[in-house]
């Protein structure tokens, strides 16, 4: 495993930095996609699946190479890259191989008496050219999963990944090339936000965006001008709710993993931990003890790696400093005044007594910081959890499954884990997406395939 020097990522970014695509380049990218779409859309789902199966075999054969590139590009541990990125893409490919054909068949619908003698069904067609714009925190998984779903549904795809992880972009380019996909079926474009904007201006038939709320707003307004349908996967401020009857050791492990995997740079990170007051002291003590056992570094089996960019560290720092200045208490971790300059290694932090109004509780943090908050009543904690504008995920921990389900039913959010964290996104059978400012629309599962399809209702008179 190679060592990631503090400036390695910035060097790589500037190495690729930016020769923006000319108008001509983008034009020829679109022309290639449109030309190929007229062929690809006529492939049967099984024929498309043959290509996706080849891709799966190729990714499986190259899993270590892929995980290593991701590890170097992002700073996340190798094993985390392998499990949360490579394996998840393989699992999604398996899902599509098994189910896409059946899910995309025309579906019979009932016809009421008033239309006696007629037949009704729903049919699915590809949308055309799908533009996927993806972020840096899971540069492989969050780019590849929407791409393969869109391909399975019969679209040609333009993928514009984040400019912060260019080596992963190049890797994805080579993977599709090595598999030998027909020219124009999927084109991976190295570019920044400007390139993303220009690609939208060329009018794709659908946009699947994953990234920040601010960019999501811009993309949606640009898309609205041209009436381009979009799925937006945006930010999170996920609450984890721990009732007194929860299995405490498991909940502690869940909180640490949920808050600190990928150094907290996960849209579904636990960013607010609500603990029932009666168990708060013991829970905090267990958190501190378990945290001390985590190993941070570059080793293959490290629990924690480093942050991806210095810019993100600065953002995290300002939220932590504000919270501490406003009276919050540092329970574990380093005070920001002692953070090493130019180091991406950020020790995880537990923070208590956080005032309600500070940005650490209200804005996405995207760093290894866990604010811990007490609650007394079920209704109270549901209200607190729902206070955020970001409705992406949540988790509820209790031995009482009736209560778990009751609370889940009242949380205004796209994804809930009961007695677990984050992991619902790893199930390709479950649709994934946020609500409120956490996002619009879903992918994964049948819903994903339908999002990438035009759905035509047919009424047939024989």
Active-site annotation, residues = 233, 267
Residue number, 161 or 258, with CB nearest to ligand NAD: 161
Residue 316, number of CB atoms within 10 A of its CB: 23
The three-point CA angle 254-209-11 to 5° equals 80
Closest by Cα among 284, 343, 354, 294 to 321: 354
Residue number, 140 or 397, with CB nearest to ligand NAD:
140
Q: Which residue is nearest to ligand NAD (CB)?
A: 196
Contact between 192 and ligand NAD by CB under 6 A: the answer reads yes
Q: Name the segment binding ligand NAD (CB under 6 A); options: 53-61, 87-95, 195-203, 252-260.
A: 195-203
Could you tell me the sign of the dihedral formed by the alpha carbons of 27, 199, 151, 173, in that order? positive
Q: Which of 212, 192, 166, 260 is nearest to 392 (CA)?
A: 212
Question: 309: closest CA among 340, 347, 269, 265?
Answer: 265
Q: Is residue 136 a contact point for ligand NAD (CB under 6 A)?
A: yes
Residue 415 in contact with ligand NAD, rule: CB under 6 A: no
Residue with smaller CB distance to ligand NAD, 171 or 200:
200
Cβ atoms within 10 Å, residue 257 = 16
Torsion angle defined by CA atoms of residues 291, 297, 300 and 301, in that order, rounded to the nearest 10 degrees: -10
In the list 149, 233, 238, 303, the residue contacting ligand NAD (rule: CB under 6 A) is 233
Residue 131's nearest CA partner among 104, 166, 156 is 156
**Token reading at 249:** 């050791």
**Among the residue ranges 16-24, 131-139, 297-305, 394-402, the one whose residues contact ligand NAD (CB under 6 A):** 131-139
Q: How far is the CB of 133 from ligand NAD (least distance, A)?
A: 5
Residues 6+ apart with CB under 8 A from 174: none
Residue 238 binds ligand NAD, judged by CB under 6 A:
no
User: Interface with ligand NAD includes 439 (CB under 6 A)?
Assistant: yes
- For residue 443, the minimal CB distance to ligand NAD (Å) is 9
How near is the Cβ of 309 to ligand NAD at its closest, in Å? 9
Among 74, 84, 137, 141, which residue sits at the site for ligand NAD (rule: CB under 6 A)? Answer: 137
Please list the residues that pair with 133 across neighbouring strands. 160, 209
Stretch that binds ligand NAD, among 31-39, 177-185, 188-196, 246-254 (CB under 6 A): 188-196
In terms of Cβ atoms closer than 10 Å to its own Cβ (0-12, 13-18, 19+), residue 327 is exposed
Beta strands 206-210 and 129-133 are parallel
Rule CB under 6 A: is residue 264 a binding residue for ligand NAD? Answer: no
Q: Which stretch binds ligand NAD (CB under 6 A): 79-87, 91-99, 109-117, 156-164?
A: 156-164
Give the DSSP H/E element, type plus range, for residue 181: none
CB of 190 to ligand NAD, least distance (A): 10
**Complex with ligand NAD: residue 87 or 190, whichever CB lies closer:** 190
Closest CB to ligand NAD among residues 125, 212: 212
Select the residue interacting with ligand NAD from 187, 210, 296, 398 (CB under 6 A): 210
Residue 196 binds ligand NAD (CB under 6 A): yes
- Residue 434, interface with ligand NAD (CB under 6 A)? yes
β-bridge mates for residue 332, sequence order: 350
* Of 63, 61, 69, nearest in space to 87 by CA: 63
Contact string (CB under 6 A) for ligand NAD, positions 350-389, x = contact: --------------x-x-----------------------
Identify which of 450, 460, 458 has the alpha carbon closest to the alpha carbon of residue 122. 458
CA distances, 177 to each of 107, 155, 188, 295 (Å)? 35, 18, 10, 38
- Minimum CB separation of residue 177 from ligand NAD in Å reads 21
Residues that bind ligand NAD (CB under 6 A): 133-138, 142, 160-163, 192-193, 196-197, 200, 210-212, 215, 218-219, 233-236, 267, 364, 366, 392, 434, 439
């Amino acid at each position: 495993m190679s060592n990631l020097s503090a400036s390695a990522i910035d060097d790589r970014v500037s190495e690729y930095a930016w020769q923006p695509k000319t108008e001509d380049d983008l034009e020829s990218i679109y022309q290639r996609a449109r030309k190929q779409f007229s062929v690809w859309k006529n492939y049967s789902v099984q024929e498309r699946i043959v290509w996706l199966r080849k891709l799966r075999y190729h990714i499986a054969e190259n899993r270590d190479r892929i995980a290593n590139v991701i590890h170097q590009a992002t700073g996340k541990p190798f094993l985390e890259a392998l499990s949360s990125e490579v394996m998840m893409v393989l699992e999604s490919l398996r899902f599509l191989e098994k189910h896409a054909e059946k899910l995309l068949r025309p579906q019979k619908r009932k016809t009421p008496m008033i239309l006696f003698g007629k037949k009704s069904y729903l049919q699915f067609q590809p949308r055309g050219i799908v533009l996927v714009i993806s972020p840096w925190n899971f540069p492989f998984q969050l780019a590849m999963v929407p791409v393969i779903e869109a391909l399975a549904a019969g679209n040609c795809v333009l993928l514009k990944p984040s400019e912060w992880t260019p080596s992963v972009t190049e890797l994805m380019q080579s993977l599709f090339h090595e598999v030998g996909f027909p020219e124009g079926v999927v084109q991976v474009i190295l570019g920044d936000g400007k390139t993303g904007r220009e690609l939208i201006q060329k009018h794709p038939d659908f946009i699947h965006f994953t990234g920040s709320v601010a960019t999501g707003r811009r993309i949606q307004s640009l898309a609205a001008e041209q009436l381009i349908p979009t799925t937006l996967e945006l930010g999170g401020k996920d609450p984890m709710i721990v009732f007194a009857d929860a299995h405490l050791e498991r909940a502690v492990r869940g909180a640490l993993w949920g808050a600190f995997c990928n150094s907290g740079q996960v849209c579904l990170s636990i960013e607010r931990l609500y603990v029932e007051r009666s168990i708060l002291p013991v829970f905090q003590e267990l958190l501190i003890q378990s945290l001390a056992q985590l190993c941070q570094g570059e080793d293959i089996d490290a629990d924690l790696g480093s942050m991806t960019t210095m810019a993100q560290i600065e953002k995290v720092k300002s939220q932590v400093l504000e919270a501490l200045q406003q009276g919050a208490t540092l329970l574990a971790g380093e005070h920001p005044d002692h953070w090493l300059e130019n180091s991406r290694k950020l020790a995880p932090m537990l923070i208590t007594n956080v005032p309600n109004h500070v940005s650490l509780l209200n804005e996405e943090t995207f760093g290894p910081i866990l604010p811990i908050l007490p609650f007394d009543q079920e209704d109270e904690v549901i209200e607190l959890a729902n206070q955020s504008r970001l409705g992406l995920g949540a988790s509820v921990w209790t031995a009482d499954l009736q209560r778990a389900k009751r609370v889940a039913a009242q949380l205004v959010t796209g994804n809930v884990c009961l007695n677990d964290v984050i992991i619902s996104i790893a199930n390709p059978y479950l649709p994934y997406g946020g609500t409120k400012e956490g996002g619009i629309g879903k992918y994964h599962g049948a819903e994903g395939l339908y999002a990438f399809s035009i759905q035509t209702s047919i009424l047939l008179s024989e």
